[in-house]
Amino acid sequence: MKAFIYPGQGAQFSGMGLDLYEKYPQAQDMFHEANKILGFSITDIMFEGTVEQLKETKVTQPAIFLHSVILHTILGDQAKPDMVAGHSLGEFSALVANKTLKFEDALKLVSQRALAMQKACELQDSTMAAVLGLEDELVEAVCADTEGIVVAANYNCPGQIVISGEVDAIDRACEELKSRGAKRAIKLPVGGAFHSPLMEPAREELAKAIENTTFSKPICPIYQNVSTFAVNSPEEIKKNLIFQLTAPVKWTHSVKNMIADGATSFTEVGPGKVLQGLVKKVDRKILTHTPEI
């Protein structure tokens, strides 16, 4: 069975999507439509912008979504997944791929999500940090014992967790984790504490937008970050998508469940190859692919 996976924030690069735009009229139409929906020329920033410009959350999230969804669309008959999953933001790309969401509706939600997250980031001095080489349970225990708000936010693969929370709490947790044997515990260049309780204002704002958007019956199941199991119910997909902003991304668990349910290959659709590397760390025997166009 074929699993298709879609990357999240951090996969962006200067010039992303330009090859698709230059080669495929369908890509041009979708990019032009995106510029209209967003109200600014995201194509200019994607194709010619600096790395710093691409890092801005209101740009990064729609840019990665567009690259992934347009590439999926161009693949045509090659893009027939038996199951899908997306890492954080990538969940919206996955929901277009399995026809739960229309392209236009998903892009509007992604834009609203990015703006809501940006606003939440500005309310509190917060950040995230990558922790390598420790068991999940130990990282969770240190977070629970640390003064302030700090939680496990991304379970990326065995031995790699990202923690999220208030800057001072992250600093304290990192020092303690290093003393407990972490190979690395280092802050990431992000603007806020994604997938933590500090995203509650963004969750409330996005919940209204999601509730007012039409979700259709998917053509194949999605393994969502919150639940990690196959989901086919539009109502359940909605509920999980709302809680995703404040809940951890359980990527390791999702990949394991996809493999247990019969996935024999994973195709990463979008910029970069980060997710393929994470899948290999879960099970190095599994085939991973970058689509050819």
Q: Is 122 exposed, middle or buried (0-12, 13-18, 19+ CB in 10 A)?
A: exposed
What is the spatial distance between Cα 32 and Cα 52, in angstroms, rounded to a whole number? 23
Residue 166, beta-bridge partner list:
126
What is the spatial distance between Cα 163 and Cα 140, in angstroms, rounded to a whole number? 9
Whether the CA torsion 226, 227, 229, 230 is positive or negative: it is negative
Whether 111 sits among the annotated catalytic residues: the reply is no
By the 8 A CB rule, do 65 and 57 touch?
no
**Catalytic hit among 195, 196, 227, 253:** 195
Whether 88 sits among the annotated catalytic residues: the reply is yes
Task: Give the start-end residues of each E strand in the chain.
Answer: 2-6, 83-86, 126-132, 150-157, 160-166, 184-187, 222-223, 230-231, 265-268, 287-289
**Catalytic hit among 67, 68, 87, 88:** 88
Residue 184, beta-bridge partner list:
132
What is the spatial distance between Cα 277 and Cα 289, in angstroms, rounded to a whole number? 11
Residue 205, φ and ψ in degrees, nearest 5: -70, -45
User: Which residues are the active-site residues?
Assistant: 88, 195
